[in-house]
Amino acid sequence: MAEHKHPNYMAIFYYLAILTAIELAVIFMPIPKIYIAVLLCIFAVWKAALVAMYFMHLKLEARTLGLIAVTPLAIATLLVFVLLPDGFAVAKKTSDEKKVAPPAAAKH
């Protein structure tokens, strides 16, 4: 039936498989860890975008539906930065306590 257009699913599958293989290879690359982390984040978002665009047909849907789909990603990314100061405060408090407390109390 010509009513429903279907993207070339197998091509997307090979694309995803190759990206996963590259991801696994990236871990072993002799570059600083921060670059590895950035590369892995790019590949993860890339793969997620492929799944959403082609498997979930977001490419064929109304633009506003895409905005609904992207909003959680934006919220989650912002949330990391919202939580970081709190995390650093806890880490500082813990390390200060360790300095004051006798060494025997360090084990929980």
- Site of interaction with other proteins (CB under 8 A): 1, 3-4, 6, 9-10, 13, 16-17, 20, 23-24, 27, 36-37, 40-41, 43-44, 47-48, 51-52, 55-57, 61-62, 64-65, 68-69, 71-73, 75-77, 79-80, 83-84, 86-88, 90-91, 94-95, 108
CB of 5 to other proteins, least distance (A): 9
**Cβ contact 81:47 at 8 Å:** no
CB of 58 to other proteins, least distance (A): 9
Report residue 91 as tokens.
């880490």
Distance of closest approach, residue 85 Cβ to other proteins, in angstroms: 9
Does residue 12 contact residue 54 with C-beta atoms inside 8 Å? yes
Count Cβ atoms within 10 A of the Cβ of residue 38 and give its class: 0-12 exposed, 13-18 middle, 19 or more buried.
Answer: exposed
CB of 42 to other proteins, least distance (A): 10
Pair 27, 36: CB distance under 8 Å: yes
